[in-house]
Amino acid sequence: MARTLVADRHITAPRGSERSCRSWSTEAALRLLMNNLDPEVARDPSHLIVYGGRGKAARDWESFDRIVATLRSLSEEETLLVQSGKPVGVFPTHSEAPRVLISNAMIVPRWATDDIFWDLESRGLTMFGQMTAGSWVYIGTQGILQGTYETLASLARVEFGAADLAGRWMLTSGLGEMGGAQPLAVTMLGGVGLIVDVDPKALTRRLAHRYLDVEAHSLDEALALVHRAVAERRPLSVGLCANAADVYPETVRRRVRPDIVSDQTAAHDLRVGYIPQGMTVEEAERARAADLAGYLARVRASIAVEARAILDLIGAGSKAFDYGNNFRTQARDAGVTNAFDIAGYVPKYIRPLFAVGSGPFRWLALSGDPKDIQRIDRMILDEFRANEHLCRWIRLAGERVKFQGLPARICYMGYGERERFGHLVNTLVHVGEVSAPIAIGRDHHDTGSVASPFRETEAMRDGSDAIADWPILNALLNVASGATWVSVHHGGGVGIGNAIHAGLVIVADGTPVADRKIGRALHNDPGIGVARHADAGYPESIALAKTARFRIP
């Protein structure tokens, strides 16, 4: 296969209630694949790159076109296999089997290194699927927004004994496809954020999408805006075009102490995800092309500078956390031996949610009509009104989230809630209260679908951080349950060699068959998360499993 072609193509998902495929199952896969490459959604759609460094939706344009053509002809008794972004076969199955099965970036463990993987990728043999890029369910920055909101809400409770971040401020970096959620999450919780990014285009985009409030043109101006808003307990997000490795040490030098510190650059991918000190984005591109080894040495040196500054801020009293981009590992490899003194966000703030089967759950309106999402919002506010935390999020999202591509929503829902939600949505489709079917999926960052010792499974109670059976079992169970498509990936979020994770999508098309599959998949998918944490010895998981529909032998 030839190298990935660069194509000047403008991809958007079809809208409306008319199909170009033979079923809504395959139409949903087609629309979500295309939605991943919508310029409103994707970071670099001309190169098929969706988010997270080089996370792609398809291996190359030839593969994309073949996937699209196959989906349009696929019957309800066939399943398409996609091997790292390339369609490789259509096999006879049955009507309740998945229509698509995807495996991305899988490498035999001995060979699972950055150098080997990216060499194979350069030869057209594999593709980095990130998490929701190569599984066709990315929904733009909103996809991480709610998880960031949940993380910071938990931080407020744990660290400050508060329900929000009013009167607190956060220093962080990265305004890309994932990090771009940070400013809005902070202000939704009443706090103030200073977000640093070296790419001026990232700031422009976040201002245009209303994720970022204002841009400062110097650190002095940024800090003045931050301190004024904190004093007034007024939510505000401030962007600054600068390098984190310059700004963080300068805050230390000035004895300026943020309440919270983090980083959400794409540091898991050193080649493109972190720009070293003294370079613009364009200069970095030229430098890596001219001398990759020398360029990477400069990247690592800059990460080490930033990490040491974060550790200094912790010593001064700031609450700091690694937000899952493998920043600490890169810093440790660069010589910062105590980089893991920076806490991981999952064991500190999110594991109590994972232990009871709760995680980031999402849905997209295949019609393209925002009114369909608004109708589901109203249903949640009515049917789940006892869950005030969920309802607060839904109200805030309805007021403040700008849709990118197909209208979508995300929230944290737990064991039992997801299944009930799915049945209710299927009923809305059946009775015509939404205008077309709804695709229901989730992030791969979830309760039972990932093995990632530097993030989701860091510091497990029984030491099972690196055990990767669980995401494979999750994917197999979702296939057996009749999910519409199922994916297994390697390396997303934290880089090659560091994680295995799985995802699913199920389509609510209003039919009894869909309702039957929802009752299996949306019960079993979070259920295996409860089982995974019960197996690791979490008391709340063990207690929940005793009342669950599944059994632990």
* Secondary structure (DSSP) of 520-547: HHHHHHHHHHHHHHHHTT-HHHHHHHTT
Could you list the beta-strand ranges (E) of 20-143: 49-51, 55-56, 78-83, 86-92, 100-104
What CA–CA distance (Å, rounded) separates 422 from 429?
A: 11
Helix, coil or strand: residue 384 = coil
What CA–CA distance (Å, rounded) separates 72 from 31?
A: 11
Alpha helices in 3-141 (DSSP H): 24-36, 61-73, 114-122
Nearest to 71 by CA among 27, 37, 102: 27
Rounded to 5, what percent of the chain is helix, strand, coil?
45, 15, 40
What CA–CA distance (Å, rounded) separates 198 from 280?
A: 7
What CA–CA distance (Å, rounded) separates 9 from 32?
A: 17
Partner residues linked to 173 by β-bridges: 196
φ and ψ at residue 377, rounded to 5 degrees: -55, -45
Amino acid at residue number 254: R
If one counts every other C-beta atom within 10 angstroms of the C-beta of residue 6, the result is: 12
Q: Please check whether residue 175 is in contact with residue 212, taking contact to mean a CB–CB distance below 8 angstroms.
A: yes
* Secondary structure (DSSP) of 215-250: EESSHHHHHHHHHHHHHTT--EEEEEES-HHHHHHH
- Contact residues for 210 (Cβ-Cβ < 8 A; gap 6+): 184, 400, 402
Q: Please check whether residue 92 is in contact with residue 78, taking contact to mean a CB–CB distance below 8 angstroms.
A: yes
**How are beta strands 55-56 and 49-51 bridged, if at all?**
antiparallel
What CA–CA distance (Å, rounded) separates 500 from 465?
A: 12
Amino acid at residue number 418: R
The set of catalytic residues is 411
The CA–CA distances, whole Å, from 228 to 197, 232, 248 equal 22, 6, 20
φ and ψ at residue 5, rounded to 5 degrees: -85, 145
